[in-house]
Chains A and B, each alone.
Chain A
Amino acid sequence: MDRGRERRPVWVGVATLVVLAAAWYALTTLTHAIGSGRFPSPAEAWEALRQITLTGYADARLLEHVLHSVKLVLLGFAAATLIGVPLGLAMGASRAFEAFVNPTFLLLRPIPPLAWIPLAIVWLGLGDAAKVLIIWFAAFVPAVINSYSGVRAIEPYLVEAARMLGAQRAMFVREVLIPGAMPMIFTGLRLSLQACWTTLVAGELIGAIAGLGHVLYQASLDIFPAMIVVGMASVAVTAAVMTVGLGWIERRAMPWRRA
């Protein structure tokens, strides 16, 4: 990611991480300044990682938990994209449609996705359906809003040119509307994906039978700090991998934007 005008020297970053790892080792294993009831030592964290990957924890192995969580996120995310993006495009293209749909949107938008979790549980119970519903909701709002703004940000002269050249409706949508709105659509999808992931972890923490949030929940019940660390690291790594994956799709979808 581009953050700043000059590249940071890599070695300083590596050195920081090394120093930090050393400090972690020193504080926990060497001096016991931080008790293992509060934060695990590197050895304990490694042991917990071995345990969850090889024999399993909270009813499944790490890979199964990760796949379970990722599956739910992708389901909810795909459903939200398939419904949200066309809805946003339609709202952007038609003022009448926008005026009609906007009130519902204004009412639902200020409610954060996490606040839907109890409602989803009341309606659908603790199973996967409730998770998919809240993930869907988390991804839906950013998908709609950004697709909508994407259409509104299309240069008017492109639209006029297409009209003047007699583009039919289907062709107009395919050749002008969608490509024009694409950058904003992807911005929305990136936000969506992040929201999905947070929401899923929260949903699984509150009630689930599998998944990374469930690992965290179980570890916190068992007062097992090493497993909490492993769970948090897995959440972070999975999120990073999904973000990178979406970036790859984005570059594929918009080859003309190679900067």
Chain B
Amino acid sequence: MSATATSRELSLPRWLALSIAGFVAFFGVWWAAAASGFVAPQFLPTPLAVLERFVALTQAPFVGYTLQQHLASSFGRFALGFGLAVIIGVPLGLLMGWFRTLDAIVSPLFDALRFVAPIAWVPFAALWFGTGIGGPVLIIFSGAFPPCVINAYRGAKYVEPRFIEAAQTLGASHFRMITEVLLPASVPSIVAGVRISAGLGWQSLVGAELIVASSGIGYLLVKGQANISTAIVMSGMIAIGIVGFAIDALLRRLEQRINRRRGL
């Protein structure tokens, strides 16, 4: 991006110096607060202590599993809930974008349900599916579903009318219209929606596991909290951040690749 006139661009060494100063300030304030002795290490461990605990968690099991195993079970739930949301949400959005009656039937329901925070499904998730895999998956699904539907719908709605008219003139069936006109034309919008929904899904997973789960990274946080061990809680938060960041980075690369191939 070219420089906006709100301020001048920084030279690279200055930018680097300031960024490093920022990092140092963040960890410095943290370390100083922890080492000063005003706060018990149980409540605010030093950055180094958190790192040590993080490494320890990857080696020795905590509440039954090591950190990697907790992450693996979380990721399995996430993949299932997110996968279902994409597989059901995207086709539904496309269909709603094509069949106006379906749109009129589903939209009011959808708009009403969208205001229910995904996390509010927790009691029913526990009641219907228990705390194993079903409960968390329902919550992840309800977090990840709306962006898939909305973006596929918008993508289908804003396809250039002349493509649709051309396909209609050539006698395309409803099925071919959706798979060969609407779907390809809305891919950028769909991919953007999938990225949003992955973020929301991952966040809902954490919430779900805080409440209804007996393994997983959220469960690790709750148990760390119960043991009043800030170091464990922070290690879990770091792991959540890293995985969330990795998922987003992966999807962003996919998005860029698709957009580049389409010459956007």
- B is bound to A: yes
- Contacts A104-B22, A152-B6, A206-B210 given; does A5 touch B123 at CB 8 Å: no
CB pair B22–A160 under 8 Å, yes or no, is no
Question: Min CB distance, B8 to chain A, in Å?
Answer: 7
* CB of A232 within 8 Å of the partner chain: yes
**Residue from A5, A118, A225 whose CB has the most chain B CB atoms within 10 Å:** A118
Q: Do most interface residues of chain B lie in helix, strand or loop, or is the interface mixed?
A: helix
B102, closest chain A residue (CB): A12
Counting contact residues on chain B (CB < 8 A from A), the size range is: 35 or more
CB pair B117–A239 under 8 Å, yes or no, is yes
- Contacts A96-B10, A159-B6, A198-B119 given; does A12 touch B18 at CB 8 Å: no
C-beta contact mask, B3-23 vs A, less than 8 Å → 1, else 0?
Answer: 011111110001100110111
C-beta contact mask, A213-254 vs B, less than 8 Å → 1, else 0?
Answer: 100110110010100100110011101100100000000000
* CB of A115 within 8 Å of the partner chain: yes
* CB of B236 within 8 Å of the partner chain: yes
CB pair A235–B237 under 8 Å, yes or no, is no
CB pair A220–B123 under 8 Å, yes or no, is yes
A1, closest chain B residue (CB): B111
CB pair B120–A154 under 8 Å, yes or no, is no
- Bound: A93/B240 CA distance, A: 32
B125, closest chain A residue (CB): A220
C-beta contact mask, A108-135 vs B, less than 8 Å → 1, else 0?
Answer: 0011111111110111000000000000
CB pair B22–A93 under 8 Å, yes or no, is no
A108, closest chain B residue (CB): B241
CB pair A156–B5 under 8 Å, yes or no, is yes
* A177 contact set on B, CB distance < 8 A: 6
Question: Min CB distance, B168 to chain A, in Å?
Answer: 17
The B19-47 residues at the A interface (CB cut-off 8 A) are 19, 21-23, 25-26, 43
CB pair B6–A114 under 8 Å, yes or no, is no
Question: Min CB distance, B122 to chain A, in Å?
Answer: 6
- Bound: A156/B113 CA distance, A: 42
- Contacts A16-B105, A118-B224 given; does A107 touch B26 at CB 8 Å: yes
Q: Give the residue of A96, A118, A237 whose beta carbon is less than 8 angstroms from that of B222.
A: A118
- Bound: A36/B18 CA distance, A: 62
* CB of A13 within 8 Å of the partner chain: yes
CB pair A111–B240 under 8 Å, yes or no, is yes
CB pair B230–A116 under 8 Å, yes or no, is no
CB pair B207–A114 under 8 Å, yes or no, is yes
Question: Min CB distance, B43 to chain A, in Å?
Answer: 6
* A92 contact set on B, CB distance < 8 A: 6
* CB of A94 within 8 Å of the partner chain: yes
Question: Min CB distance, B155 to chain A, in Å?
Answer: 12
CB pair A5–B116 under 8 Å, yes or no, is no
B111, closest chain A residue (CB): A1
Question: Min CB distance, B20 to chain A, in Å?
Answer: 8
Question: Min CB distance, B228 to chain A, in Å?
Answer: 6
The B236-254 residues at the A interface (CB cut-off 8 A) are 236-238, 240-242, 244-245, 248
* CB of B256 within 8 Å of the partner chain: no
CB pair B26–A202 under 8 Å, yes or no, is no
- Contacts A16-B109, A118-B224, A159-B6 given; does A216 touch B127 at CB 8 Å: no
CB pair B25–A100 under 8 Å, yes or no, is yes
- Contacts A12-B104, A99-B15 given; does A119 touch B116 at CB 8 Å: no
CB pair B7–A94 under 8 Å, yes or no, is yes
- Bound: A104/B153 CA distance, A: 37
* CB of B85 within 8 Å of the partner chain: no
Q: Give the residue of B22, B120, B150, B238 whose beta carbon is less than 8 angstroms from that of A101.
A: B22
CB pair A103–B23 under 8 Å, yes or no, is yes
- Contacts A103-B22, A122-B43, A240-B115 given; does A110 touch B244 at CB 8 Å: yes
- Bound: A15/B169 CA distance, A: 34
Question: Min CB distance, B200 to chain A, in Å?
Answer: 9
B26, closest chain A residue (CB): A104
* CB of B140 within 8 Å of the partner chain: no
Q: Give the residue of A93, A100, A159 whose beta carbon is less than 8 angstroms from that of B21.
A: A100
- 17 A–B contacts from the bound complex (CB under 8 Å): A3-B157, A5-B157, A8-B107, A12-B105, A94-B7, A95-B10, A103-B19, A103-B26, A112-B203, A118-B233, A118-B236, A122-B225, A163-B5, A177-B6, A216-B123, A220-B123, A237-B115
A interface with B by C-beta (< 8 Å)? 3-5, 8-9, 12-13, 16-17, 20, 38, 92-96, 99-104, 107, 110-119, 121-123, 151-152, 154, 156, 159-160, 163, 177, 197-198, 201-202, 205-206, 213, 216-217, 219-220, 223, 225, 228, 231-232, 235-237, 239-240, 243
7 tightest A-B CB contacts, nearest first: A220-B123, A12-B104, A99-B18, A118-B225, A13-B108, A112-B203, A103-B22
